[in-house]
Structure 1
Amino acid sequence: MEKIIHRADSRSFANHGWLQSHHTFSFAGYYNPERIHFGALRVLNDDTIKGGMGFGTHPHDNMEIVTIPLSGALEHRDNTGRHEIIRSNEVQIMSAGTGISHSEFNASKTDPVTLLQIWVFPKLRNVKPRYQQQAFDLADRLNKLQVVVSPEANSDALGINQDAWFSLGHFEEGQSVDIAPKMAQHGSYLMVLEGEVEVAGEVLKRRDAIGLSNYDMATVKALKAADFLLIDVPMS
């Protein structure tokens, strides 16, 4: 087993006033040659946006972009005419493909919105841009993993242009789950959103993360009630 530990306080932090952003991997003005990506996982940003503020229209191409609001709501507009609000029990995915321009603003004028924005390298390049969002029942992740993104879109998960899976879990203290790579040559990246867990002999607290590769199975145990995100991606 190979493991990489990313402690919450080791991430880059950018305070733009209207935006406070923690970067797990190199992004924008933050560059760390040891933190470029974890396999196909390229970006994991932990953002807080003030009320009434946001990102103006900007382009993307050939990237799979997953947005997970943790609190509040995010307003999305893009050059296809789509206008959506993504809330804290929802997940959004945008396959940028050949190119798409969009804006993201806090849907509230007063309250902050907190979110994770995650970029994954695509399996196929220059596909037709695609957008999806879906609400997920919080009860379906109690003491188990709830798949919210998978290679095949279905009624239970959003589709991604990559052999990748995103799962959310809410585990009560003392509860555990075994995890394993979904495919050969895959790795698992786990971030604790709230609470405290033990994985592969490591204790992880709020916003700590671990990347596992070259392993067969590991157990995630909640030392305290915990919410976490698990991402399974190709390592090459």
Structure 2
Amino acid sequence: MVQILYANQTPTMGAGGPFQIRRIRPGKAAASSRLDGAFGPLSVVDHATLRANNTVPMHEHRNDEILSYFISGKIAHLDSSGAVNALSRNVLMLMNAGSGFSHEETNMEETLEALQIFVRPQEQDLPPGVQFYARPADYANGTWQFIAGPEGSGAPLIFRNQVMMYDIHAREGEELRIPEAEGMSPFVYIMRGSVEVEGHALAKGDGFIVDDDDAPPILRTDSPVIIVVFLVDRKAKASTSGTISGW
């Protein structure tokens, strides 16, 4: 059985302003959710928009693993390592904040739409760093794409905990089975479009988890879609000292 977290059940911050965030706590999909709403080490997924000609000024994170995943817009990224990069749906970034890492983002073009994904690391105060991933030209080809995972998983971006992330850009009328990994539980998020799952109609901003003993359901696409899937070891050791991920 799926347990659904609808978009209208998640709070929006900055409504009407240039930087707007709808904060998703994936664990809240569970009927017996944890008080803090984390889904194992997957703590927070922020669905964000940033209007053109705006900057999120330099600020520090500690003990957050932060993946920036874009579906529209481009930003200029500056951080405390000295890295200056242009980020977009074709170039993703994962910041391993560890003992302390600062960054600034400026959007000078169209409105940006993105997810910022906050994962709890296995330990606090690990060495900080930043990773970038230039996606292959054919990534929107209707197959699941492996974006991030733990060390040794073969993922292009590395979380320092037991979390994997996939996405797919699929056409209307497809039947999709979500990725699986032994010992990992899925959280599925509809980034764009609409799907039907187990008789439920889900649209942009909705997400769901699957009971641990159940086989992953079939998703039937009712429109062109972008779907993001996280596979999580809900029992993994995780630090709760992160700036965002820790609460």
TM-score in terms of structure 1 length? 0.86
Q: Distance in 2 between matches of 1:40 and 1:131?
A: 19
Runs of 4+ in 1 over 4 A off after TM superposition: 32-35, 153-156
Give yes or no for contact 2:74–2:110 (8 Å, CA) kept in 1: no
Q: Distance in 2 between matches of 1:165 and 1:155?
A: 10
Give yes or no for contact 1:144–1:169 (8 Å, CA) kept in 2: yes
Describe the superposition over 1:29-78 as per-residue Cα deviations: whole angstroms up to 9, x where unpaired: xxx97662222211111111122212211111111100012211122211
Residues paired across the two proteins, number: 227
Q: What residue is the counterpart of 1:88 in the other structure?
A: 89
Q: Distance in 2 between matches of 1:16 and 1:35?
A: 27
Q: Find the residue that maps to 2:138 and give its secondary structure.
A: helix
Q: What residue is the counterpart of 1:58 in the other structure?
A: 59
| C-alpha deviation, 1:156, in angstroms | 5.8
| 1:131 maps to 2:119 | no
| C-alpha deviation, 1:120, in angstroms | 0.8
Q: Distance in 1 between matches of 2:36 and 2:221?
A: 27
Give yes or no for contact 1:39–1:187 (8 Å, CA) kept in 2: no
Q: What residue is the counterpart of 2:29 in the other structure?
A: none
Root-mean-square deviation (CA, aligned residues, Å) is 2.4
Inter-CA distance 53–33: structure 2 relative to 1 (3 Å threshold): farther
Q: What residue is the counterpart of 1:172 in the other structure?
A: 171
| C-alpha deviation, 1:101, in angstroms | 1.3
Q: Find the residue that maps to 1:9 and give its secondary structure.
A: helix
Q: What residue is the counterpart of 1:228 in the other structure?
A: 227
Give yes or no for contact 1:198–1:222 (8 Å, CA) kept in 2: yes
Letter of the 2:61 counterpart: H
Inter-CA distance 69–131: structure 2 relative to 1 (3 Å threshold): same
| C-alpha deviation, 1:231, in angstroms | 0.8
Which structure: greater strand fraction?
Answer: 1
Q: Which runs of 5+ in 1 are unaligned?
A: 27-31
1:102-121 equivalent positions in 2, closer than 5 A:
102-106=103-107, 108=108, 110-121=109-120
Q: Find the residue that maps to 2:37 and give its secondary structure.
A: coil
| 1:196 maps to 2:194 | yes
Letter of the 1:55 counterpart: V
| C-alpha deviation, 1:179, in angstroms | 2.6
| C-alpha deviation, 1:167, in angstroms | 0.6
| C-alpha deviation, 1:217, in angstroms | 2.8
Inter-CA distance 47–166: structure 2 relative to 1 (3 Å threshold): same
| C-alpha deviation, 1:166, in angstroms | 0.7
Q: What residue is the counterpart of 1:29 in the other structure?
A: none
Letter of the 2:195 counterpart: V
Give yes or no for contact 2:100–2:128 (8 Å, CA) kept in 1: yes
Letter of the 1:18 counterpart: P
Letter of the 2:57 counterpart: G
Letter of the 1:25 counterpart: R
Q: Which runs of 5+ in 2 are unaligned?
A: 27-32, 236-247
1:1-16 equivalent positions in 2, closer than 5 A:
1=1, 3-14=2-13, 15=15
Inter-CA distance 137–213: structure 2 relative to 1 (3 Å threshold): farther
Comparing 175-184 with 149-158, which one deviates more in the overlay? 149-158
